Structure 1
Amino acid sequence: MVITEAYIRNFGKFSEQHFYFHDGVQVVTGENEYGKTTIHAFIRAMLFGMERGRGRAAAKDDYTRYEPWDHPEYYAGVLRFSCGGRNFRLERNFSRAGRRSSLVCEDDGEELSVEHGDLKMLLGGLTPEIFDSTVSVGQLKSRPGEELSEALENYAAGYFEAGGGEIDPGAALETLKNRRKDAEKALRAEEAKREEGRRALLQECSYLEREMESLQSEFEEKQRALEMTVRAEQEARKTRQERQEQSDSQQKEEDRDSRGTALWGAAGIFAGVMGFCWSQVITGQGEMPYLPMAVISVIIILIGVGILLSALAAGVKNRGKQDRNFSKAQKDGEGAVSTEARRQAEWELKRIRAEWKEKEIRLQNLREQYGEAEKSDTQKNLERRCRVLALAAQELEKAARETGSDTVRLVGRKASEIFAGVTEGKYSGLELKSAAGGGREIAVWDGERKIPARLLSRGTIEQIYFAVRMAAADLLLEEPMPVILDDTFAFYDDRRLESALKWLSGRKKQVIIFTCQRREEEILSKKEAFS
């Protein structure tokens, strides 16, 4: 890839500015605050886009930093570049309201899609993190980021496992993670479905328990009412019985009185008849009828008849009174619950008891279903799939780490060649190895001893980082990318700067150097320096 033009319509301090570039090494010189870093940031934003941060981070992110000073709603630019023998025009609008992008091949007018990955394909899959850790060196940011170590491990796994760089373990690992996320999502849905069924069982159990409690209350209430009714009936029956006994006793006494009276009346009649008959006997013997005795006998007969009739009338009256008492007893019994009503109440209790038992059996079955609710086959398969994917990701990461040392040696050899050239052979070797606490340790070989990088000068350390970046770029980047250096050589002395520029010129790549000094331009103007 070769960048040919950066047309900044509105970005940072620039508005309607054109910057043209060519292949090979070139220098953009400007004083401090000229805008060199802004141009660098614009190129990066055009290649990879730029998103506004969230929360407090938004106040210090690049989006806010380079938001146009004038007319911030118009935040856009155009980048022209060549790639694979074709010329392209990339246009972006970064504004919040009008965010859009377009990519067109200027040779034939073919429209490509940034959103669907056409630009990423042209960049060879380059990510902004690897871009920042290899060919793009920001101001005072020569040290590569942690993303470079991860990328090298991915490259190692793919390169040494397949004999080339066709396999991307990082992408494979990302695919495994995405599949695991999908499986876990499906598993959560299946678990939620199972839990919903269990909640439905619990809810039905709760309904049944409330219904059983209601039936229990109804049963106890009806049972108490029946008991009160039975007691009232028993008390009424006892009262009727007592009344009947009292009435019978009184009736017997009255019957005895009436019978005694009747006997007296009968005795009177008998005595009167006997007296009258005696008076007739005397009269039949020819004697004078004894009139007084006959009259007395008749009177006695009449008195006896009267007493007898009175006794009979009293008996009739007593029988009527007994009948009235019986009718009254029947009438008093109408207020009590009949046997049929009691049977109805007892049937209601039996019905409630049967219904409660039925619900108890149903509740027991539901509780057993809840306790025995096992995982479905789908859930078991999803759990097994999650475990397999997690294990696969773990093994892939392990393989990447194990083969990473091979890549470190490969990068070390390439970086050693670059570093030896930049230092004009003062240091012939560069060693990269894994540190105990993570990261990489760097040491250099001066022909006699290994010197840890931390003991070297800042300028030499900057040259080590430069060599590592360029070596990693050769390994990782499928498409040759422009090397963009923003005040990278500030700590280089003149001899090592000349060596670095000579090495860059021999790479036959586009190199854009932003600097506030004239040294780079002056050295490049001396053609004999690179002969």
Structure 2
Amino acid sequence: MRILDIYINGFGKFHGRNLTFSNGLNIVYGKNEAGKSTIHTFIRGMLFGIERQRGRASRNDLYTKFEPWENSGTYEGQIRLEHKEHIYRIERTFQKNKKEFKIVDETAGREIEPTKAFLDDLLSGLSETTYINTVSISQLKSATDEGMVSELKNYIANLNNTGSLALNVTKATTFLKSQKKELESQMVPEAARTYTSLLSEIRNTEKEISSPEFENQINEFQKLREDVKTSLEEHQKEKEELIKKVARGKQVLSSNQFTDQDSINTYTQKAQDNFDDYTNAKEVSSKKPRKVFSVLSLILATALLCGVGGLYYLGESNYFTANYGLDLLFLMSIFMGAAIIFYLIGLLLFLKLKQSQKDMEMSAKVLQEILSRHLGSGDISTEAMRAFQSRMAEFTRLCSAVIKSEAAVIQKQTELTELQQKQENCGSTIEKQQKSQWELERKLEHLSSCKTQAEGLKHILEENDRIREEVSAIDLALETMTNLSSSIRDSFGLYLNRAASDLIKGITGGIYTSMSVDENLNVFLNTKTKLVPLEQVSSGTMDQVYLALRLAAATLIQEGEERMPMIFDDSFVLYDDDRLRTALKWLINAYSDQIIIFTCHQREAQLLTANLIPYHLIEI
């Protein structure tokens, strides 16, 4: 496969830029900061895509680093490739909210489904990782210190042991162990116990809030309180009406000098007694025999007194003394006593008659006053007494009504007290209900919090399970790596060492003929006379060994007849002119497919021109 051209329509500093490549060797020249690494990364992105990382990793990932400087809404491009006599155009849009990926077979004139099988064939079976570690070579990291020696040893050991350029057995083992430790540190051992405790707390809280105590009856009690309030107002009005009725009744009674039923009864009895006295006195006064007898008694008493005077005048010559021999004094005593008796009888009868008349007048006066007050007329008669008694019966009924009204007032007051107590009970119950609802809300908040915590712990438990699975997978990976390491070394590693040895001989100009690695992963370069430890060679030679290993790995790993272009990004900055000349000649002979060299120096082009080596120059 070879790259024909690229079109950058928004990538880093480039917008609307087109570059064309030819077969064989391509030199892309540009000064520092001209955008060589941007074009290099663009090619990689067009082949494998660019995914934006999440979280903090997104701040410095490739997506963010190479977002367009201008017109950020256009983050896309095209690359045209030739593969197995077909020309393909890959179009990609990297924008996170409108990603697009399309492959067009220009030769066949149709769009190709970008299946994994097709992409594996197009990219010679390379993944992005193997691409980065083989045919895509950035500036070499060599330096005259132990760092490069360690890096080469790890790289060689990795290739020798695994045959995969994405893994470093030593680093991978260390990494997996550190990952295991990190994963174990992320586990929350107390999560299960806390989760169980929270579930128990949730069950208990749900049981509590389902009890009748927390049943919301505020509306019912508020309605009941309103009904009680209405009833209170009605009872209060009825009570006030009754009080007014009692007051009016008592006013009527009071205006008639009555206070209660006893006063009415006493008054009625008094009237009756006066009427009876009046009637009796009238009857007594109206009897003539009594008057006659009284007069006769007085007349007889007077006659007897006259007889006493006569006897005294006659002396012993009176009839009775003279004829019957009665003593004069005796006779005078008899006549005087009888006179006195008759006089007293007449006087008593007269006085009694006078008293009866007086009593009749007094009774009449009282009756007239009573009847005048209540009947409007002072006429004394049986009919008037009947009317008076009827009037008193009305007062009796009024007094009874007042008594009943007073009893009703007391009853209403009792009912009012009960209603007020009921109203207070409703208020107290509503207050309790409000407290219960507040407590219910608090418990619901607690329940929600517990459920939220439980849900969070559920995720933690799931995460714990996931971590345990990952830890188990890491343990299995470590065991698998240990078991397979030796067998892989005997297969791929043997071919890699052989291919790298052939390439080392060419790139070093025959100074070193081969490379060997002992059981302790110590690397030696072989000369015709001795083995030279890698630590003793120059940094330039280390670069050459590294390049030879990369090329050997690229040759062995790529599948099919066509191989990916070999891309170098300022990879020869530490080479001197002789070593660079040797490397370029060797590279053209060792890798017959397309080669693209990004450089900030003009000496590659000058050396190629001087040595009559054909190349295609692209200046940016």
| TM-score for the superposition, normalised by structure 2 | 0.45
The answer for the alignment partner of 1:477 in structure 2 is 558
| SS, match of residue 431 in structure 1 | strand
Query: Aligned equivalents of 1:43 and 1:473: distance in 2?
Result: 18
The answer for the alignment partner of 2:72 in structure 1 is 72
Query: Aligned equivalents of 2:474 and 2:93: distance in 1?
Result: 40
The answer for the alignment partner of 1:464 in structure 2 is 545
Q: State the structure with more CA Rg.
A: 2
The answer for the alignment partner of 1:59 in structure 2 is 59
The answer for the alignment partner of 2:610 in structure 1 is 526
| SS, match of residue 53 in structure 2 | coil
Query: Aligned equivalents of 2:475 and 2:69: distance in 1?
Result: 52
Would you say 1:493 and 2:576 are equivalent positions? yes
Could you say if the C-alpha distance between residues 432 and 103 of structure 1 is closer, same or farther in structure 2, counting changes exceeding 3 Å? Answer: farther
| SS, match of residue 545 in structure 2 | helix
Query: Aligned equivalents of 1:487 and 1:390: distance in 2?
Result: 38
CA deviation vs aligned residue, 1:362-406 (integer Å, no higher than 9, x gap): xxxxxxxxxxxxxxxxxxxxxxxx9x9999978864553112323
The answer for the alignment partner of 2:595 in structure 1 is 511
- Cα RMSD over matched residues? 4.5
Query: By how many angstroms is 1:446 displaced?
Result: 3.1
Q: Is the 8 A contact 1:152 1:476 kept in 2?
A: no
1:320-335 → structure 2 map (5 Å cutoff): none
The answer for the alignment partner of 1:7 in structure 2 is 7
The answer for the alignment partner of 2:103 in structure 1 is 103
Q: Which ranges of structure 1 fall in alignment gaps of 5 or more residues? A: 157-203, 205-385
Would you say 1:444 and 2:531 are equivalent positions? no
Q: Is the 8 A contact 1:408 1:432 kept in 2?
A: no
Could you say if the C-alpha distance between residues 111 and 529 of structure 1 is closer, same or farther in structure 2, counting changes exceeding 3 Å? Answer: closer
CA deviation vs aligned residue, 1:184-205 (integer Å, no higher than 9, x gap): xxxxxxxxxxxxxxxxxxxx9x
| SS, match of residue 417 in structure 1 | helix
Query: Aligned equivalents of 1:509 and 1:428: distance in 2?
Result: 25
The answer for the alignment partner of 1:138 in structure 2 is 138
Q: Is the 8 A contact 1:133 1:148 kept in 2?
A: no
The answer for the alignment partner of 1:22 in structure 2 is 22
The answer for the alignment partner of 2:585 in structure 1 is 502
Greater RCO, CA 8 A, separation 6+: 2
| SS, match of residue 57 in structure 1 | helix
Query: Aligned equivalents of 2:495 and 2:40: distance in 1?
Result: 30
| SS, match of residue 510 in structure 2 | coil
Could you say if the C-alpha distance between residues 45 and 433 of structure 1 is closer, same or farther in structure 2, counting changes exceeding 3 Å? Answer: farther
Query: By how many angstroms is 1:516 displaced?
Result: 0.8
| SS, match of residue 14 in structure 1 | coil
Query: By how many angstroms is 1:420 displaced?
Result: 1.6
The answer for the alignment partner of 1:410 in structure 2 is 495
Query: By how many angstroms is 1:498 displaced?
Result: 1.4
| SS, match of residue 82 in structure 1 | strand
| SS, match of residue 16 in structure 2 | strand
Could you say if the C-alpha distance between residues 116 and 421 of structure 1 is closer, same or farther in structure 2, counting changes exceeding 3 Å? Answer: closer
Could you say if the C-alpha distance between residues 50 and 529 of structure 1 is closer, same or farther in structure 2, counting changes exceeding 3 Å? Answer: closer
Partner amino acid, structure 2, of 1:504 = L
Query: Aligned equivalents of 2:26 and 2:33: distance in 1?
Result: 20
CA deviation vs aligned residue, 1:41-100 (integer Å, no higher than 9, x gap): 000111111111222221111111111001222100001101122110001000111111
Of 507, 515, 531, which aligns to 1:430? 515
The answer for the alignment partner of 2:112 in structure 1 is 112
Q: Is the 8 A contact 2:140 2:572 kept in 1?
A: no
Could you say if the C-alpha distance between residues 94 and 426 of structure 1 is closer, same or farther in structure 2, counting changes exceeding 3 Å? Answer: same
Could you say if the C-alpha distance between residues 13 and 528 of structure 1 is closer, same or farther in structure 2, counting changes exceeding 3 Å? Answer: closer
Q: Is the 8 A contact 1:77 1:92 kept in 2?
A: yes
Partner amino acid, structure 2, of 1:409 = L
Query: Aligned equivalents of 2:586 and 2:120: distance in 1?
Result: 29
Could you say if the C-alpha distance between residues 148 and 116 of structure 1 is closer, same or farther in structure 2, counting changes exceeding 3 Å? Answer: farther
CA deviation vs aligned residue, 1:238-273 (integer Å, no higher than 9, x gap): xxxxxxxxxxxxxxxxxxxxxxxxxxxxxxxxxxxx
Could you say if the C-alpha distance between residues 425 and 76 of structure 1 is closer, same or farther in structure 2, counting changes exceeding 3 Å? Answer: same
The answer for the alignment partner of 1:219 in structure 2 is none
Could you say if the C-alpha distance between residues 394 and 31 of structure 1 is closer, same or farther in structure 2, counting changes exceeding 3 Å? Answer: closer
The answer for the alignment partner of 1:259 in structure 2 is none
Could you say if the C-alpha distance between residues 445 and 155 of structure 1 is closer, same or farther in structure 2, counting changes exceeding 3 Å? Answer: closer
* Aligned-pair identity (%): 37
1:352-371 → structure 2 map (5 Å cutoff): none
Q: Which ranges of structure 2 fall in alignment gaps of 5 or more residues? A: 143-147, 165-202, 204-469, 615-620
Query: By how many angstroms is 1:115 displaced?
Result: 5.8
Partner amino acid, structure 1, of 2:542 = I
Could you say if the C-alpha distance between residues 25 and 461 of structure 1 is closer, same or farther in structure 2, counting changes exceeding 3 Å? Answer: same
Partner amino acid, structure 2, of 1:65 = K
Q: Is the 8 A contact 2:137 2:567 kept in 1?
A: yes
Partner amino acid, structure 1, of 2:30 = G
CA deviation vs aligned residue, 1:286-334 (integer Å, no higher than 9, x gap): xxxxxxxxxxxxxxxxxxxxxxxxxxxxxxxxxxxxxxxxxxxxxxxxx
Query: Aligned equivalents of 1:96 and 1:87: distance in 2?
Result: 28
Query: Aligned equivalents of 2:564 and 2:478: distance in 1?
Result: 33
Query: By how many angstroms is 1:505 displaced?
Result: 1.5
Q: Is the 8 A contact 2:160 2:489 kept in 1?
A: no
The answer for the alignment partner of 1:194 in structure 2 is none
Could you say if the C-alpha distance between residues 108 and 15 of structure 1 is closer, same or farther in structure 2, counting changes exceeding 3 Å? Answer: same
Query: Aligned equivalents of 2:157 and 2:54: distance in 1?
Result: 28
The answer for the alignment partner of 2:245 in structure 1 is none
Could you say if the C-alpha distance between residues 392 and 490 of structure 1 is closer, same or farther in structure 2, counting changes exceeding 3 Å? Answer: closer
Query: By how many angstroms is 1:134 displaced?
Result: 0.8
Q: Is the 8 A contact 2:78 2:91 kept in 1?
A: yes
Would you say 1:454 and 2:522 are equivalent positions? no
| SS, match of residue 103 in structure 2 | strand
Partner amino acid, structure 2, of 1:459 = G
Q: Which runs of 4+ in 1 moved over 6 A?
A: 142-149, 388-395
Query: Aligned equivalents of 2:519 and 2:85: distance in 1?
Result: 40
| Higher deviation after alignment, 445-454 or 24-33 | 445-454
